[in-house]
Structures are given as C-alpha cells and as structure tokens.
Amino acid sequence: MHDFPRNSNRSENREFVLIERNQIIQLTKQRNFWKLNAIQYLFRKLQQKFNRPVFIMLITRYPPTENNSLRAWSAADEYLLKEVQQNSLDKKAVAIFNDRFGYLGCHLHKCNPWHVSDFKSQQISLELNLKRNGVNVESGKFINPLDSLPELIDIAILSIPKSLDLYRFYLNQISRSMAENGIALCGFMTRHFTPQLLSIAEEYFHDVSQSLAWKKARVLTLKEKKESPAYDAVEEIPFTFSDGGNESLKQYPGVFSSGNVDYATQFLLGNLTIQPDENCILDLASGNGVIARAVQLQKPDTEIHLLDDSYLAIASSKLNLSTGNVHFHWGDSLDEIDDTEFDIVVSNPPFHFEHEVNTEISTALFREVAGRLKPGGRFVCVANKHLGYLPTLKKFFTRASIIKENRKFVIYECKKGGK
C-alpha cells in the first residue's frame, strides 16, 4: 500500500495499491472470470475495506515472464519510495537511476523526474507501465548514462546495480549533477551488502548514513557532496586474438565482463571460423564488441552489425570497432534492426540479469534469430553447459547440434533450411 508522493493532491483521498500482472492472472484463474472482471472485483473489495476511492497501479515486467516468482520491483524499491516520501518534493528536480521496470518512475511521475537508463528494456518497461496506468512520459526526460543531466538535481534516487564499477560510475554522475544541498538515496537488498558500498559512497559524499533494515532492504542516504575525484570511466582489457594480434579492448563500467574477456567467449572465438560466403554478420548481445572485432579481423570487408540492450555496451563497442562496414544498434530485440537478413549470427547470450538467473530472454532471442537468417544461414552461440539449450534451439531451427564442448561450456551451431 503506498500513498501518492507528498507533492501530489492529497484532497483526492485515494490509496495506492500495487498489483502485479501475474497476481491478477492468478486471481482470474482462481475465480474463473476475465482479467477486467478481476480488476473490478479488486476495486470493489478495496473500496469496501477503505471506505473511499481506490486506485490500483499495475506494474509489470518487460520483457514479460512466465516465472511467477520474479517480481517487477523489490523491497529495496519500496524502501526507496518510503524514504523519498519523507522529503518535500515540491519544486524539486528529481532524477531516477537504474529503475529496472519503472516502479519508481510510475510512483513519482508527478515529480516529472529525469530517468537515467543504461538498458533500452528499462526505458521500454517504464513507458509501458506509465501508459498502462494512464500516464504520459516526456521522451526528452530519458538520459543515457554518458550524458550530463541538463539541470542540477535536488534528489537523486538510485537502485544500486550489481556491478560496483557501475555503482561508482552512477555516483560520479550524480555528484557532478547535484545541487549544493541535494541528497542521494541508494537502495539495495541487505543480502547484497558489501562494505564497498559505503567506501565508494564516501569518495563522493561527506555524509554517508545507512538505514536500519526493513523487509530485508536498506537505503543509503548521501549528503554534502565532495569535489568529484579524478575518474576515468573507460577500462582497458588486453586480449590476444587468434591471429596472434594483441589489442587493448575498451569498455565502460557494468559491461560484461569486467577485468578480462570471459572464458565462454574465449572458447567460442577459439573455435569460430567465418566462411567465405558469410558476408553479413550479427554479433547478438555484443557487449564490448570482442566477437565482432574477431570477425572483422578474419574478414575485414564483411558487413557487421552489433546489437545490445546496454547503451554502455554499444558505446564500448564503438571504441573497439571504429572503422569498417560496422553498424551499431541499441535495443533489446532484433526489431531495432531493419529487415536485414544475416548469413551468420554469433552470440554469447545473457542469462544473468543483475542478481537474477533467467533464460527466458535468451529463448526469445533464439526465436528472433531464426526469423532473420538467410536460407542456409547459421547461428553459432556459446553457453554454460548446465543451461542445456539444445532442445530449445531445435524448436526454432531446421538443424541444431553441438559442435564443440569442454567441461564447462558448449558451442551450438544451428541452421535454417538451405545448404
């Protein structure tokens, strides 16, 4: 149960009630009537309980999930909202960082906040949830993580990401954009606490305090910003390609994987050969672009496309593939690319999303790839062996097989008709 933000019209005398999409579906099934009737039923029951008008806010996940245990918000998001409401929001400039499904943005929409999002799916999720609840959002209020906020911020709200490097990156952006007496509220689940959350915050703020635990969540309150320390956001990762050439790959914080090229990708690159007739190639979930760069070294004149949900990933890949017939796409699906069909799609598809393990997005990408290959085209991907993707891949492709495996990883090759 959540009240409207403090600067909203209290005379409306309404209650905020959050209902997840999956909960409504379950209720619908139990009572054997349509979703609309289920929502109307909830309205009636809640209005009877509170004896006043009730507004149900519907917050859903995007992309949608069949896993009923996965929610569209956490207790840390609830705690952040609770702490925000302790502050006057009247005529305050508010910025929300890393709001994965739009829970905070929907609740605080009357503040007209800035939204700083790395993932395109975050932006889509917020827009869908606002629209679902009858609220319009200004497209100009979305800011990518590399851009400066266009005004000084009084209140910054951050859902702390899993990556500590990305956490530092966001705090750097917040401190540079914060008004003199501004505050930052940073939420996290207690099980994800590390002392570095405090030490990193202390690099940017004099006053760092940690709340008591509530519903297994905590909030850091940061005040009295310091002079921002010297900071270089770009990490350099040395890597030796199969042709023996050494390069220093560049990437921004939070991009998979920090510190080194991950072992699954190394295994894939050691067993990837681009055929002479494969001239249009997609690096799917491209990260810093290391796979695309390896392809480019094998066939310098080939047409290469890179697609990733992360803005920072696409920005990183632009640092590593600055020349050639290369096209960059920031998006969470192949719909971001025109009707191009590919001779080969190569991928190390994601299955970790922050602290979640979820293969549904990978499965959706497999389905999309099958529809974008040329006849005879192939899809080559690497994955952890325990994920067991082969039965899923066989649903979407004419042929799917394992072409290489070791103790931990497996490389799949899938083909669509033709040769």
Instruction: Name the residue ranges covered by the structural domains of the chain.
Output: 10-225, 235-415
The span from the CA of 348 to the CA of 382, in Å, is 5
Whether 186 and 276 have beta carbons less than 8 Å apart is answered as no
Provide Rg for the chain, Cα atoms: 23
Query: What's the number of CA atoms in the CB half-sphere (13 Å) around residue 405?
Result: 14
The span from the CA of 168 to the CA of 221, in Å, is 15
DSSP state of 102: S
The residue among 183 and 20 whose pLDDT is bigger is 183
Q: Is the pLDDT of residue 417 over 90?
A: no
Tell which phi-psi region holds residue 324, choosing left (phi > 0), alpha (psi between -120 and 50) or beta.
left
CATH no. for 235-415: 3.40.50.150
Whether 142 and 36 have beta carbons less than 8 Å apart is answered as no
Give pLDDT, residue 22: 55
What would the pLDDT profile of 351-379 be if each residue is shown by its tens digit?
A: 888 888 889 999 999 999 999 999 999 99
pTM: 0.89
The residue among 48 and 85 whose pLDDT is bigger is 85
Query: Residue 368: which of 379, 353, 384 has the closest Cα?
Result: 379
CB 219: neighbour CB atoms within 10 A? 23
What would the pLDDT profile of 316-346 be if each residue is shown by its tens digit?
A: 999 999 888 999 999 999 999 988 999 999 9
- What's the CATH superfamily of 10-225? Vaccinia Virus protein VP39 (3.40.50.150)
What would the pLDDT profile of 82-110 be if each residue is shown by its tens digit?
A: 999 998 888 999 999 999 999 999 999 98
Whether 55 and 17 have beta carbons less than 8 Å apart is answered as yes
